[in-house]
């Protein structure tokens, strides 16, 4: 597979990193190895492959050449800044059939009954449900805390019973709160905790948590990394190759969370335009956020690129762009939100995010419906909150569509 110099930029890595350079047919676009199983030259080779004495492919739930392309490519993208600072710290990745498969498999490999996971409010609804239901049944305690200062993080760690992992999203879903990843990583790792960052909203183009001190990064590849809404997938990335390729790989193999080769191939095609798309997503979102900030039906706009956003300075320091996600609160609560979302025509009323088209949704009744209301409100997810994933349409048309909808309130 292709290895690019560290001096090359993100678009070059997104297009070339991980691409096979030994295809016998010399295909310009890497082929899809849509095969459940792989043959052996003889019994001896089969024995060696199963014993780990020879590298090769046995069964696609274990390894697949097409899946390995996106693992290599995303490892290159998440590791550019880290390897520029320390060339000996290589990043490696393991792909999964969904973002939740990646998150659950990683955390279930790191945690044991009796352990505590520290996190914050405002996480993706599925992640919150996982921690408060399945993890509780497994004897794993979740502690919610404010990650806004090293003193608070330190106190939370000291108060927890067998703290093992600190898990965060930055920007967080859906209110876009930010966490100082370098600060949290330094505080947590001083006590031996592993730091896991969900980097789905930012993507490795805008933020590289491993270079900021995180131990692991997770993505829902369903979102911006694919970019076209055609697949469901996830990935875990980090620098501990033994853990990822042995412990975590064993978990994926036995739980069956491996991605399909065709999904991996589609994700790879999306990755090739990731840098270009994130530039346009960010530019459009900033324009829309500034416009929403002037509209009387809008009570508040959450967007890292706005000067008055409370995490704006952290965003400028920690990120390379502000991303394509906006959250805004309407004066009329649920009723106003219902009018807006039932009126828009260009914007699609749909969950998920990060596709080329603009999508709009209501977190309280959709993505976070399974989160207890009190906990949801504490995280800033109000009844009138609307989440907007700003797409690549002409920005004037997005504003026109939203303007007509707001005018119906």
Catalytic sites, residue numbers: 61, 124, 198, 223
Longest distance between any two alpha carbons in the chain, whole Å: 74
What DSSP string describes 22-58? --TT--SSPPP---SB---SSHHHHHHHHHTSS---S
**Among 287, 365, 362, which residue's Cα sits nearest to residue 322?**
287
User: d(Cα 232, Cα 264) in Å, to the nearest integer?
Assistant: 9
Using alpha carbons, select from 109, 62, 69, 58 the residue that is nearest to residue 93. 69
Residue 242: partners with Cβ closer than 8 Å, 6 or more residues away = none
Sign of the CA dihedral with 186 first, then 188, 192, and 194 last: negative
**CB burial readout 40-61, b (16+ within 10 A) else e:** eeeeeeeeebeeeeeeebeebe
Q: Are 297 and 406 in contact (CB under 8 A)?
A: yes
């Amino acid at each position: 597979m292709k290895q690019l110099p560290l001096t090359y930029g993100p678009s070059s890595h997104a297009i070339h990193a991980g691409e096979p350079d030994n295809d016998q047919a010399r295909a310009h676009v890497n082929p899809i190895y849509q095969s459940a199983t792989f043959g052996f030259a003889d019994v001896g080779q089969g024995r060696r492959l199963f014993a780990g004495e020879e590298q090769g492919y046995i069964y696609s739930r274990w390894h697949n050449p097409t899946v390995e392309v996106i693992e290599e490519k995303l490892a290159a993208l998440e590791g550019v800044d880290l390897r520029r600072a320390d060339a000996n710290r290589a990043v490696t990745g393991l792909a999964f059939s969904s973002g939740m498969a990646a998150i659950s498999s990683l955390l279930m490999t790191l945690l044991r009954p009796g352990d505590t996971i520290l996190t914050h409010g405002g996480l993706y609804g599925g992640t919150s449900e996982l921690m408060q239901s399945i993890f509780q049944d497994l004897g794993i305690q979740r502690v919610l805390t404010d990650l806004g200062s090293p003193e608070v993080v330190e106190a939370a760690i000291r108060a927890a019973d067998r703290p093992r992992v600190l898990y965060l999203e930055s920007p967080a879903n859906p209110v876009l709160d930010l966490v100082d990843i370098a600060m949290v990583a330094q505080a947590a790792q001083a006590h031996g905790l592993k730091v896991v960052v969900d980097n789905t909203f930012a993507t490795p183009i805008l933020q590289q948590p491993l270079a900021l001190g995180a131990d692991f990064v997770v993505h829902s590849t369903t979102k911006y990394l694919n970019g076209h809404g055609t697949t469901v997938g996830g990935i875990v990335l980090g620098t501990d190759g033994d853990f990822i390729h042995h412990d975590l790989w064993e978990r994926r193999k036995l739980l069956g969370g491996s991605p399909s080769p065709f999904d991996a191939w589609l994700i790879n095609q999306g990755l090739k335009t990731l840098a270009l798309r994130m530039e346009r997503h960010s530019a459009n979102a900033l324009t829309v956020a500034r416009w929403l900030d002037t509209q009387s039906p809008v009570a508040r706009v959450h967007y890292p690129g706005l000067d008055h956003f409370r995490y704006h300075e952290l965003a400028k320091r920690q990120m390379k762009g502000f991303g394509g996600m906006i959250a805004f609160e309407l004066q009329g609560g649920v009723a106003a939100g219902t009018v807006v979302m039932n009126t828009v025509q260009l914007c699609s009323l749909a969950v998920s995010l990060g596709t080329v088209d603009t999508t709009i949704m209501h977190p309280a009744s959709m993505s976070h419906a399974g989160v207890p209301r009190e906990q949801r409100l504490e995280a800033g997810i109000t009844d009138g909150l609307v989440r907007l994933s700003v797409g690549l349409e002409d920005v004037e048309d997005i504003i026109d569509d939203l303007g007509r909808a707001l005018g119906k309130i």
